[in-house]
Structures are given as C-alpha cells and as structure tokens.
C-alpha cells in the first residue's frame, strides 16, 4: 500500500502545523511520499510565502531594495527550523539565494523557493529523503508537463524510499526552473501519485473535504462523502473550489482515488473522489449544489431557425470570434439561447450583438441580464424519476422564477437559471429539501 500525501500552505504555515503533519504521516506507514506547498498564512492578515517571493522579485525588477521582504521570508523558515530544533543549515542556502538575486534570478526560480524550503524542512523533520522537483519534473517547450519522462524519473529516484517533494515547480529541458499556475502543488501531488502508482492520493488542506453547498450561503453544509470525477468537474466548473482544476487529470487517468482531508481534523474521513462508486451503499440522491452569479442570456429568435442546418454554427462562430465561451445553450424551434458569463462578454457585447444581427438576420435578439446559474449535481439522478419535480416544486412554492433549464441525457446534473437576487435563497431551499 502506498499513499501520496500532499499538504497545502495552511498545513505548512508554522511549527505547530509541521507537528500535525508529522503525526499524520507517522500514524500510517503507507504514507511514503509527501508533497508540500510553501508556508501559507498563519492568521488572517498574514502573508503567504509565495506572495512574498513574488513581491521580492518585483522589488528586484524595479530596482527597489528587496532586503526587508527577503528577511521576512528568511525569518519564517528559520523560525520553523528553530522551533522544531532541526539541525539544518538554511543560512547557506539563503545566502546563496541572495547572491543569485543580486546577479539576476528568474521570477520562476525565486518564487519556487517557497516550496523548496518547505520540503527541505519537512524532510529533515520527518527523517525522509528530500527529492528536489528539479530532479524529475520536466516541462516541454510548450509548457506542458512531460509526463512520461517525469514519471519514469521519479519512479526510479523514489523507489524504496520515504520522500518529501516540493510542489509547484519543475524544470525545462535546459534545466531552468519553471513554475505552474498558482495552487499548482495540487498538480505536483497528483503527478507524484501517478508516477508512483499510488493506491490513494491524499490532499490535506484546512477543510474536511468538499461541502454539499457553499458554506457562505448554507451554514453547516454537510461534507460530501463520495463524489465521482465527473460530478466534481460539474461542481467546480460552477463554483465549488477546493482543488486546482488540473489536479484530477493525472490521478483520474490512472484510476487513483483522491481523498481530500483536513490537517486540523485528521480523524475526519473527508471527501473521497473516484471514477465510480458502488452506489448500493450510498446516501442521498444529490451529491452537491453549486452555482455562480452574473451570467447573461442572449436569445436569437428567427422564424424557422431550427430548420436551417447552418444557424447554430453561425451563432457559435460569433462567440468563437470574440473568445467568449458559451456555458449552456437551451433552444426552441424558432429560438436559440446562449448563456455566457457577463464578465467575458463585457468588452465585446455590442460587437457580438452586431455580428449576430449581420450573420443571422434574426427577427429579434433578447438579452437577459443578472442571471445566476445553479447546478444540482448527482450521479444517482440517472434513470430515476422525481428529482426535477422536487426542484421545481420547491422553487415554485417559494416563488422563485426559473429563467432557464438545462439537463443532458446523462442526467448528471440539472442546471437552472434564476435571477441573481434569487441565487442564495434558491441554493438554501434546494439544500434544505435534498440534504436534510
């Protein structure tokens, strides 16, 4: 049994958090590979190490003395080392880094040092081997990860060892450090799990898994115990945010379950994410409810629209031309609606409308503003009557007008559009009627 455990910034914020991580790792000998983020915030108003590193680079770039920001970074890590009474020479590393900063360092290399120092400290604390991401994680020239080469390299380096690996960065073919997008350590964790053919990828954070609804809207929302990768895609597309989006691909490809856990509540089982579940042992019909405000619905009406084979293409071409993604597209015989995020339309709204006029010569175009989209997601809705009836019943009884409906035949989710003002009440009502 091999578990890969990735710890996010809040789990690495100070010596107290390091102790929690150690207890978690030592409580299960199958946790043999650990991936870490840079130190996160210790309290609200505190700084993330990665942010300080970006700031440091900005100072260098504009010729402002970076000394005091650099000292803050140095202090954070030496403080953790001293509190944990670790015998490791960070000073030499920091001095060398400062020298390099004076002679010119890339932003990527400087910013990657947060994860680098976290991993060095954690490796020393656990008595595990430190494996620099620069030794195995390689990027191709287009910025994508060279999975085959990276997996092979790590499998060889980590064989038979207990290792700690920094997240968030790797190297280009020429050896220069290259970082991922913000939050990228989640991806490194997934890559390590895939490379080592782990039995599970544990992603340790500061929440006990994914909640059935946004806790800012639904107080005491329950944790989702089990969610499939497809359900998670639906939920995160529409607002639920726990993992970096690209995290799931490496583990999904290899059918490795992903378990989201809470470093501050390690006895909580968290959320388990897999390709499929034996639903005989499952709980509710609904897995989660997510949503997003501020969509616009543009409806093109033209008599006979659906009997012209080129009309939908022409409409979509306009959105494509302006780089606007169409999220949903409900249609009727003589009309076709596109639901798009208002922010994406902001800079090109009049050009889009003008082009639709020109290309389609429609009878009319209607624009509905301030639309919120709510997705009720659940793999167990499939081939089962009654879920949509319940949704419409509860919203209808509470006088919430539904502006748009969308559901595909795979029945993974039911999407409804409501007015922005009805967004939070709709989610609360749906949660209450399905979760309790």
Binding residues (CB under 6 A) for ligand ASP: these are: 9, 37-38, 48, 50, 114, 167-168, 182-186
4 or 352, CB closer to ligand ASP?
4
131 or 133, CB closer to ligand ASP?
133
The CA-atom distances, in angstroms, between 109 and each of 104, 145, 373 are 10, 17, 40
The CA dihedral of 137, 87, 24, 112, to the nearest 10 degrees, is -30
Q: Work out how close the CB of 204 gets to ligand ASP at its nearest, in angstroms, rounded to a whole number.
A: 12
Nearest Cα neighbor of 226 from 184, 281, 301 is 281
Q: Work out how close the CB of 40 gets to ligand ASP at its nearest, in angstroms, rounded to a whole number.
A: 7
- State how beta strands 335-341 and 288-301 pair: antiparallel
Rg (CA), the chain: 25
Q: Work out how close the CB of 202 gets to ligand ASP at its nearest, in angstroms, rounded to a whole number.
A: 15
9 or 257, CB closer to ligand ASP?
9
Give CA–CA dist 243/230, Å, rounded. 14
53 or 315, CB closer to ligand ASP?
53
Give CA–CA dist 57/40, Å, rounded. 18
* Secondary structure of residue 67 in the 3-state scheme: helix
The CA dihedral of 193, 198, 200, 202, to the nearest 10 degrees, is -40
Contact of 373 with 289, CB cutoff 8 Å: no
48 or 57, CB closer to ligand ASP?
48
Q: Work out how close the CB of 282 gets to ligand ASP at its nearest, in angstroms, rounded to a whole number.
A: 31
Residue 42 has what DSSP assignment?
Answer: S
* Phi-psi label, residue 340: left if phi above 0, alpha if psi -120 to 50, beta otherwise: beta
* Secondary structure of residue 276 in the 3-state scheme: coil
Q: Work out how close the CB of 183 gets to ligand ASP at its nearest, in angstroms, rounded to a whole number.
A: 4
For 58, phi then psi, to 5°, come to -60, -40
Q: Work out how close the CB of 139 gets to ligand ASP at its nearest, in angstroms, rounded to a whole number.
A: 16
Residues 6 or more apart in contact with residue 169 via CB below 8 angstroms: 108, 111, 112, 115, 116, 133, 134, 137, 177, 178, 179, 180, 184, 188
251 or 376, CB closer to ligand ASP?
251
Q: Work out how close the CB of 45 gets to ligand ASP at its nearest, in angstroms, rounded to a whole number.
A: 17
Q: Work out how close the CB of 9 gets to ligand ASP at its nearest, in angstroms, rounded to a whole number.
A: 5
125 or 168, CB closer to ligand ASP?
168
User: Other C-beta atoms within 10 Å of 285: how many?
Assistant: 15
48 or 226, CB closer to ligand ASP?
48
202 or 355, CB closer to ligand ASP?
202
Q: Work out how close the CB of 319 gets to ligand ASP at its nearest, in angstroms, rounded to a whole number.
A: 31
């Amino acid at each position: 049994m091999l578990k890969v455990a990735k710890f996010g910034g809040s789990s690495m914020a100070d010596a107290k958090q390091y102790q929690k991580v150690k207890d978690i790792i030592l409580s299960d000998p199958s946790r043999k590979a650990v991936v870490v983020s840079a130190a996160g915030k210790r309290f609200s108003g505190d700084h993330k190490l990665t942010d300080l590193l970006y700031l440091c680079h900005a100072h260098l770039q504009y010729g402002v003395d970076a000394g005091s920001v650099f000292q803050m970074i140095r202090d954070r890590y030496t403080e953790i080392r001293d509190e944990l009474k670790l015998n490791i020479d960070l000073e030499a590393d920091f001095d060398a880094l400062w020298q390099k900063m004076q002679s010119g360092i890339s932003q990527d290399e400087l910013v990657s040092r947060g994860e680098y120092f976290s991993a060095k400290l954690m490796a020393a604390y656990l008595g595990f081997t430190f494996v620099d991401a620069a030794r195995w994680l390689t990027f191709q020239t287009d910025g994508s990860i060279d999975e085959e080469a990276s997996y092979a390299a790590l499998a060889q380096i980590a064989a038979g060892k207990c290792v700690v690996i920094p997240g968030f960065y790797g190297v280009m073919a020429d050896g220069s450090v290259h970082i991922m997008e913000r939050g990228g350590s989640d991806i490194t964790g997934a890559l390590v799990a895939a490379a080592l053919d782990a039995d599970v990828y544990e992603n340790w954070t500061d929440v006990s898994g994914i909640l059935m609804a946004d806790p800012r809207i639904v107080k005491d929302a329950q944790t989702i115990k089990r969610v499939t990768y497809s359900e998670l895609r639906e939920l995160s597309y529409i607002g639920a945010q726990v993992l970096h989006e690209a995290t799931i691909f490496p583990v999904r490809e290899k059918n490795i379950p992903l378990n989201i856990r809470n470093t501050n509540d390690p006895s909580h089982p968290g959320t388990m994410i897999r390709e499929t579940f034996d639903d005989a042992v499952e709980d509710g019909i609904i897995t989660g409810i997510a949503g997003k405000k501020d969509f616009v619905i543009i409806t093109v009406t033209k008599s006979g629209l659906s009997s012209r084979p080129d009309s939908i293409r022409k409409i979509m071409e306009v959105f494509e031309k302006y780089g606007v993604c169409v999220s949903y597209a409900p249609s009727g015989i003589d009309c076709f609606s596109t639901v798009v995020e208002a922010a994406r339309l902001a800079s090109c709204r009049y050009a889009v409308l003008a082009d639709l006029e020109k290309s389609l010569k429609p009878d009319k175009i209607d624009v509905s503003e301030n639309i919120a989209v709510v997705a009720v997601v659940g793999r167990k809705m499939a081939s089962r009557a009654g879920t949509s009836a319940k949704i419409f019943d509860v919203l209808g009884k509470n006088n919430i007008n539904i502006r748009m409906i969308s559901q595909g035949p795979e029945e993974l989710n039911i999407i409804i559009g409501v007015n922005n003002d009805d967004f939070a009440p709709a989610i609360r009502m749906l949660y209450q009627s399905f979760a309790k």
